[in-house]
Amino acid sequence: MKLEDFGTFVIFAAIYAASTLGLPRFIFLAYHVELGVIPTAFVAIFGMPAVFGLALGQFIANFGFQLAPIEMLSPAVSFVGLLIVYYARKFSTLGGCIAYIIITSLWLSYMLPIVNGTPPAVAAYSAFSGQFIAVIIGYLAYLFAVKTMVPKKTENSQH
């Protein structure tokens, strides 16, 4: 990472940590929807600083809720999913987001029964639904940002 990427890194870490620790929990079945997951699709715009920032933000946020050792592996799983979003951006940001949802949902489906004693079927349904809601909201925001804020090439500007 270059020095000019540090601001992006810090902003994404703060977004995840602050939204998870500072805002009320939105509970959906046995899982709370992580508001910090919403900016996942923006990794396609902001790149590796956003990947590292969101992973660090999740690590910080995990200290704020529970400190079960298995939960401390969640940022690593999320990091893998974020890398997929980053590398998939060249052909399909939506595909990367779906891969992120699947990877993190599988992890949460495994982890929730261990940590909370949640029945496996409820854990799987809750994790998938919660991740899907958060990531798709972020993807829709990403589409809005790309369509409205990124300059489009016109025929006159192409040489």
Over the stretch 26-42, which tens digit does the pLDDT of each residue have?
A: 665 556 778 889 999 99
Per residue, the 3-state secondary structure of 73-93, as one string, reads: HHHHHHHHHHHHHHHHCCCCH
More confident residue, 95 or 153: 95
**Domains of the chain with CATH codes:** 3-148 (1.10.1760)
Residue 70 pLDDT: 79
Q: Other CB atoms closer than 10 Å to residue 14's CB: what's the count?
A: 16
pTM: 0.86
Tokens of 79: 């990091």
